[in-house]
Structures are given as C-alpha cells and as structure tokens.
Amino acid sequence: MSASVIDGKARAAALRKSTAQAVAQIEKNHGFKPGLAVVLVGEDPASKVYVRNKAEQTKECGMNSFEHRLPEETSEADVIALVEKLNADESVDGILVQMPLPRQINEDKVVLAIDPKKDVDGLHPENAGRIVLGQPGLVPCTPQGSVILAKDAVGDLSGKEVLVIGRSILVGKPVSLLMQNENCTVTMAHSRTRDLADHCSRADIVVAAVGRPEMVKGEWLKKGATVIDVGINRVPAPERGEGKTKLVGDVDYESAEKVAGAITPVPGGVGPMTIACLLMNTVFAAMDSRGLERPSIS
C-alpha cells in the first residue's frame, strides 16, 4: 500500500483563496489593501520567474504589488537605500528582497535593514527571536508551509516525534522551533549526525531539508510516518534524453512512498506553499502595523 500524496498545490490554492477573502473583508471594513514590495537585483532566471509568480499571485489575492528591478551591478548601499525607502512607505506592508543577491551585496546587511514589521520572509533576527520565545511575529514561509502540510496530514501534532534533517537558518532551525511550539518532540539531524537511519526509524514525522538528492531512503522510515520533503535538487535525467534534468527532493520518493503514510512530492509539495504563506504574512503584517486583529486564514 503506497502513501497518500500531500498535494501542496491544492493546499496552497486553498490558502490563497482564504487570503483573498480576508483581503476583500479588510478593504470593506477598513478601506485599504495590503501591499507587498518585491526587490529583484540582477538577472538570475529562477529568481525572475519566482518574482513574476509572486507579483501575479499578490494581485490575484486583491493586494497591491510593487516590483523593484535593479541591475546586476547595483551597490549594496543602493539596495539598502531602497529598502529604507520602502520601510517608510505606508502603502507597503511587506518587503521581500529576492535571494540570492549579487556577490557585491551582503545579504545579512540587507535583511537587517528591513523593518521587522515588514519582514514577510521572516528572516530578520527579531522575528527569528520571536519564534524562539513562542511570541507572535512573522514566520519564515517555507517552514510555516511545512508545518501546515504536516498538520493537514496528521492532525494534532502534540506529542509527535519529529526528525528535522538539516539545520539551515532558512528551514531547518525555524521548522524545528515551530514544531516544538506545536508540542512535538524534535530531533535535529545534520551532516555529522551518527546513524541517521536509526533516528528516522523512530520519527512520526520526517522533515527533510538537507539539500542532498534522494538521501533519505524508504527503508529508514518508520512505517506510516509522514514525510515532508523540502529539498529541491536538479539532477541528470538520461531517461528523458541527453542533457535532460529533473527535480527531485531530499527523499528517495520511490522507496519512501511504499513505507510512509503520507508524503509530499517534489515538485508540487512544499514549494507552492512558500508563496501562499508569503501572501498570508503580508496580510498579517498589514494588520499588525495598524493595531488590528489578524484575520483567520487557513
């Protein structure tokens, strides 16, 4: 019996619909539309596609979208100056600077320049600290989406054994804290973890975010475990023709789906949730900054 597939595309569409309904209600009750500003520096193809998708989905949800495209050679000072201008712009509720940035720009300095109340990517140290303290703030989008998908698959997460593979500040660390805030018992694994397969065998939920193609094998998993695969790796696909590639996760899907109870595919799992959570965060930021109660978005 194969695992049930956790459909991230469908869940993200539902979250965007709920966000759009909240935006319509905000405009009706309070007379404003939340606004998201996205800054793109350079010509990275993947980033350009991602920014275009964000802009389209922002507008589809009824929000204002502001795009700022800067040339590759833009200086760090100019990027920070733009961020500071957006911080002061009352029509902008959320700011997202698309990563990666060109080499001449220090990404940490740019993140620090963003007003934490507009940091809809949840990367500012103030928002990271709020997760640690269990306080409301703006939560990183991919970890947030991962937890939503896990809750959809499992229900109440309280008491569940969770293994997070990967300790990055973008996914591994925040998702482990979010799972702890859901009353899970969390183990964090990484490149130096001994006997990773043994840790996997005890976990009710495995969140794979290590960046190694198909590293987690089905035989490592506890029968019926829920697998949230955050990895996106492009690998050769000779079966599709010479020079062709395909996307795979950090989990060997073919073997894992035979053991797991539920599993996210790659692509089509966690990925679509990232933008959906970004839009939700923008609504929350807009309400927080005005001292208004956050709407229920689910």
204 classed as catalytic: no
How many structural domains comprise the chain? 2
Told to judge if 54 belongs to the known catalytic residues of this protein, a careful annotator would answer yes
**Residue 246 — φ and ψ, nearest 5°?**
-145, 160
The one-character DSSP state at 31 is S
Residue 9, burial from CB neighbour count under 10 angstroms (0-12, 13-18, 19+):
middle
**Cis bond before residue 267 (omega within 30° of 0):** yes
Q: Are residues 145 and 266 in the same domain?
A: yes
Domain that holds residue 43: 33-117
Measured over the CA atoms of residue 218, residue 156, residue 145 and residue 59, the dihedral's sign is positive
Do 101 and 172 lie in one domain? The reply is: no
Give catalytic status of residue 25 as yes or no.
no
- Which is the catalytic residue, given 93, 115, 121, 229? 121
Q: Which two tokens stand for residue 42?
A: 């350079």
Is 83 part of a structural domain of the chain?
yes
101: domain CATH number is 3.40.50.10860
Same domain assignment for residues 103 and 151: no
pTM of the predicted protein model: 0.95
Question: Quick check: helix, strand or coil at residue 266?
Answer: coil
Question: What CATH number is associated with residue 260?
Answer: 3.40.50.720
DSSP track, 97-112? EPSSPPTTS-HHHHHH
Residues 146 and 264 in one domain: yes
- pLDDT, tens digit (0-9, with 9 covering 90-100), for 222-275: 999 999 999 999 999 888 888 899 999 999 999 999 999 999 999 999 999 999
Residue 34 to residue 61: CA distance in whole angstroms:
10
Q: Is residue 123 part of a domain?
A: no
Whether 128 maps to a domain, the answer reads: no
Is 198 a member of any domain? Answer: yes
Q: Which among 93, 98, 222, 229 is annotated as catalytic?
A: 98
- Please list the pLDDT of the chain residue by residue as tens digits (298 residues): 689 999 999 999 999 999 999 999 999 999 999 999 999 999 988 889 989 999 999 999 999 999 999 999 999 999 999 999 999 999 999 999 999 999 999 999 999 999 999 999 999 999 999 999 989 999 999 999 999 999 999 999 999 999 999 999 999 999 999 999 999 999 999 888 999 999 999 999 999 999 999 999 999 999 999 999 999 999 998 888 888 999 999 999 999 999 999 999 999 999 999 999 999 999 999 999 999 999 999 9
Domain membership of residue 282 (yes or no) is: no
